């Protein structure tokens, strides 16, 4: 019943005001606790089809204005967030390469050649761990063991970010007013039409920041093991974060906490947690929400 009434998409002078009014009505209905239905459509398919419904009711997609939905989806911040997440992971790999060079003493050219030939991330972490142990014994174990355990979770999340599919999520209220947002969904769930697992742009920004933290730590450990020429050797009598148990998220005041990665927008809380809410297909005067 929630998807039977289509929006009026006539392009007239009052369309912007109408959309603003629709948004206010839509959020008002959600905030009063009415049940909303979210339809999900795969992006990039020749003929996009209905993928899933949050209430489990079978419906067809011909009562959803798909052309408008896909046009709005192009302006979702998830595309930029995905790029920043992948870039963050690439910078983390570069920092781990620096660590490999520090523990082996090999040249930069040799280190890069070897590191990027190791495509299995578990094998790469195991190699780093053994080399670190050979170089420094158990000196950094309290830090490294929990660090590498969390690093494996980053590797798994990176695979999801790269390989999952983008899907447009459409929320429609009983008056036929719609909101559109994009999330990433696992490819294996496409034919089951039952999974609600997803990655939002806010998840991607958090991932990029986490990669930044772990890259800073890897570079810091590399510098601790092999200080650059002209840099004083660390006083062994001083407290060393790389000899202390590692905890994540990093506590306030941690020297590696700061990050320059910030979302392009600062979304407010939205009752429908998986959606970004878009008001205009041309990307102007966009208002966005996320969980």
- pLDDT confidence of residue 268: 36
**HSE-up (13 A, CA, CB side) for residue 85:** 25
Task: Flag the least confident range among 19-28, 107-116, 146-155, 260-269.
Answer: 19-28
217: nearest Cα among 80, 49, 96, 68? 96
167 versus 60: the higher-pLDDT residue is 167
Query: Quick one: average pLDDT of 67-72?
Result: 81
State pLDDT tens for residues 192-217. 655 568 899 999 999 999 999 999 99
- Identify the pLDDT of residue 230: 66
Strand partners, 169: 40, 181
Is the predicted pLDDT of residue 29 greater than 50, yes or no?
Answer: no
pLDDT digits (tens, 9 = 90+) for 107-165: 999 999 999 999 999 999 999 999 999 999 999 999 999 999 999 999 999 999 999 98
Mean of per-residue pLDDT scores for the chain: 74
Buried b or exposed e, range 4-25, using 16+ CB within 10 angstroms: eeebeeeeeeeeeebbeebbee
At a CB cut-off of 8 Å and minimum separation 6, what does 50 contact? Answer: 39, 40, 41, 59, 60, 61, 64
Expressed in percent and rounded to 5, the helix, strand and coil fractions of the chain are: 45, 10, 45
What phi and psi, each to the nearest 5 degrees, are found at residue 268?
A: -90, 170
Whether residue 21 has pLDDT greater than 70: no
Residue 276 scores a pLDDT above 80? no
pLDDT (0 to 100) of residue 82:
97
Indicate if the pLDDT at residue 170 is higher than 50.
yes
Exposed (0-12), middle (13-18) or buried (19+): which is 2, by Cβ within 10 Å? buried
> Is residue 264 within 8 Å of residue 276, measured between CB atoms?
no
**Separation of alpha carbons 5 and 275, rounded Å:** 20
User: CA–CA separation, 47 vs 41, rounded Å?
Assistant: 10
Predicted confidence band at 187 (pLDDT cuts at 50, 70, 90)?
Answer: confident
Q: Torsions phi, psi of 167, nearest 5?
A: -135, 140
Q: Which of 76, 77, 37, 35 is nearest to 59 (CA)?
A: 37
pLDDT bracket for residue 106 (50, 70, 90): very high
Least confident residue range of 39-43, 231-235, 241-245, 274-278: 274-278
Strands (E), the chain: 37-42, 50-53, 165-172, 178-185, 268-269, 289-290
- The widest CA-to-CA distance across the chain, in whole angstroms, is 73
The tokens for 14 are 């009052």
Q: Which residue has the higher pLDDT, 177 or 212?
A: 212
Residue 185: DSSP 8-state: E
Record the pTM.
Answer: 0.75
pLDDT value of position 63: 64
């Amino acid at each position: 019943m929630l998807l039977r009434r289509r929006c009026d998409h006539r392009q007239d002078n009052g369309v912007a005001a109408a959309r603003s009014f629709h948004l206010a009505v839509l959020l008002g209905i959600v905030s009063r606790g009415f049940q909303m239905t979210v339809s999900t459509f795969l992006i990039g398919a020749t003929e996009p089809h209905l993928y899933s419904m949050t209430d489990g009711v079978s419906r067809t997609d011909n009562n959803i204005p798909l052309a408008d939905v896909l046009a709005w989806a192009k302006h979702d911040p998830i595309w930029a967030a995905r790029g920043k997440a992948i870039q963050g992971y690439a910078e983390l790999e570069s920092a781990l390469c620096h660590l490999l060079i520090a523990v082996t003493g090999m040249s930069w050219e040799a280190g890069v050649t070897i590191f990027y030939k190791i495509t299995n991330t578990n094998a790469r972490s195991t190699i780093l761990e053994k080399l670190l142990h050979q170089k420094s014994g158990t000196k950094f174990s309290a830090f490294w063991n929990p660090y590498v355990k969390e690093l494996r979770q980053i590797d798994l999340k990176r695979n999801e970010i790269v390989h999952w599919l983008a899907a447009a999520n459409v929320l429609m209220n009983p008056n036929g007013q719609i909101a559109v947002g994009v999330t990433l969904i696992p490819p294996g769930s496409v034919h089951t039409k039952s999974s609600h697992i997803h990655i939002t742009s806010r998840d991607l920004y958090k991932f990029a920041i986490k990669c930044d933290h772990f890259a800073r730590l890897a570079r810091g450990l590399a510098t601790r093991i092999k200080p650059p020429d002209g840099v004083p050797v660390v006083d062994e009598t001083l407290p060393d974060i790389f000899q202390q148990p590692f905890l994540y998220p990093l506590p306030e005041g941690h020297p590696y906490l700061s990050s320059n990665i910030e979302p392009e927008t600062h979304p407010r809380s939205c009752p429908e947690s998986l959606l970004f809410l878009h008001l205009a297909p041309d990307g102007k005067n966009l208002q966005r929400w996320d969980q």
